[in-house]
Amino acid sequence: MLTREEAQQLLLERLNDRQDGRKQFVEEHRTVERPFGWLFVVALSGSSTTVQAESLSYRLIIVNKHVKQVIESSIEYTPQRLIEIYETLLAKSRAQEQNWCLTMSLPFPWKRSGRERLASKAKKMGFYEIK
């Protein structure tokens, strides 16, 4: 299980692999801790040389401390709504004794399984994993 510091480090490592040189940082005071892990607010500067409030954009990213999964949504939600959707999907997954959060994409033979329906719902809600 990840600690908060390890989760933040994992998040930044995965983001660094995907960024175009823009400066990014976690806004510590806006981090929300939940039983599954954390919702981090990541600020991205408009350029790699300046970090000014007017040039920042923000991303909400969930790190599941149990499975080391880093999740973002392509749909813009409030932090509370993003957490609510994620927790609802996790609860449904546990109720069906499935781990959709461990496998966002599935092989062909299981396309009609219950797990696929949860993974499809997560994708429809804009969720994707940052690897």
Return the pLDDT at 80.
Answer: 97
In terms of residue numbers, what domain contains 39?
Answer: 4-129
pTM of the model: 0.79
**Residue 76, SS3 per DSSP:** coil
- Domain count along the chain: 1
Highest mean pLDDT among 63-67, 96-100, 104-108, 117-121: 63-67
Return the pLDDT at 60.
Answer: 97
> What are 52's two structure tokens?
């000014």
Burial class (CB in 10 A: 0-12, 13-18, 19+), 95: exposed
37 to each of 16, 104, 107, how far by Cα in Å?
21, 18, 28
Which of 51 and 58 is assigned the larger pLDDT? 58
